[in-house]
Amino acid sequence: LSPPAERPDRRLEKLGILGGTFDPIHSGHIAMAQAARQAHGLDRVLLVPAARPPHKERELAPAADRLAMARLAAESAPGIEASDIEIRRGGTSYTAETLEELARERPDAELYFILGADSVPELKSWWRLPRIFELARLVVVNRPGCKGLFPPEQFQGIPGELLERAECDRVQMPPVPVSSTGVRKAVRRGEPLGAKVPPGVEEYIRRRGLYRGGRG
């Protein structure tokens, strides 16, 4: 018997990674994970709440709560799981490090990093962006109001063919006009969340008394 690595019928696991602050997770996150999963035939999508995102200044809900809500959301979403990889590592969460860790843990997996179109213009400031493009395919999902193109002059250091592939890997989904900011605002105003959040999340927010005060 040949070792697994040499078997021609061996199929790579296609693993999607959706990183975010998830403060809290909402239906747009789940919809984009599902759209990316379907479009690219991904076996699984990991929801990865950041311990501390590099670009967000405001105070966040505790990491344990953000992770618990991601877990609740995953319960009703087939093929979607929550991962504590960044929260376990602690400190500022850099996507390049997370992808390196996942690639080390699962050398057989093909990694797809999923992000919303509104995040594309921010990418140029991400730590070790060329490494991210090396380790994973970038899958951009549309978000209301965003074009999210990859103008090459803003992505110096990334080979043109990787930018082109990222363009081709784009996923369109019916727009979901929900944001974590909007959810936090609704909680503060005492409005019901309804379909803005996946099942179980609203109950969790109320039980833990999250997002009642503050401005963010």
Interacting residues toward ligand ATP by CB under 6 A: 20-23, 28-29, 32, 115-116, 118-119, 141, 143, 176, 178-181
Cross-strand partners of 26: none
Q: Which is nearer to ligand ATP, 151 or 160 (CB)?
A: 151
Enter the DSSP assignment of 102.
H
Query: Would you say the C-alpha torsion 129, 131, 135, 137 has a positive or negative sign?
Result: positive
Determine contact, residues 95/131, Cβ cutoff 8 Å.
Answer: no
Minimal distance in Å, beta carbon 21 to ligand ATP?
Answer: 4
Of 32, 2, 37, the closest CA to residue 20 belongs to: 32
Q: Which is nearer to ligand ATP, 7 or 58 (CB)?
A: 58
47 burial level (CB within 10 Å; 0-12, 13-18, 19+): buried
In the three-class reduction of DSSP (H, G, I as helix; E, B as strand; rest coil), residue 28 is classed as helix
Distances (CA, A) of 126 to 35, 120, 121: 24, 10, 10
Minimal distance in Å, beta carbon 90 to ligand ATP?
Answer: 18
User: Where is 9: in which H helix or E strand?
Assistant: none
Minimal distance in Å, beta carbon 159 to ligand ATP?
Answer: 23
Instruction: Name the residue with tokens 């103008």.
Output: 151
Q: Which is nearer to ligand ATP, 176 or 187 (CB)?
A: 176
Minimal distance in Å, beta carbon 28 to ligand ATP?
Answer: 2
Q: Which is nearer to ligand ATP, 98 or 180 (CB)?
A: 180
Q: CA 97 to CA 120: how far, in whole Å?
A: 19
Minimal distance in Å, beta carbon 16 to ligand ATP?
Answer: 12
Cβ-closest residue to ligand ATP? 116
Q: Look up residue 37 and give its two tokens.
A: 């999963």
Minimal distance in Å, beta carbon 33 to ligand ATP?
Answer: 9
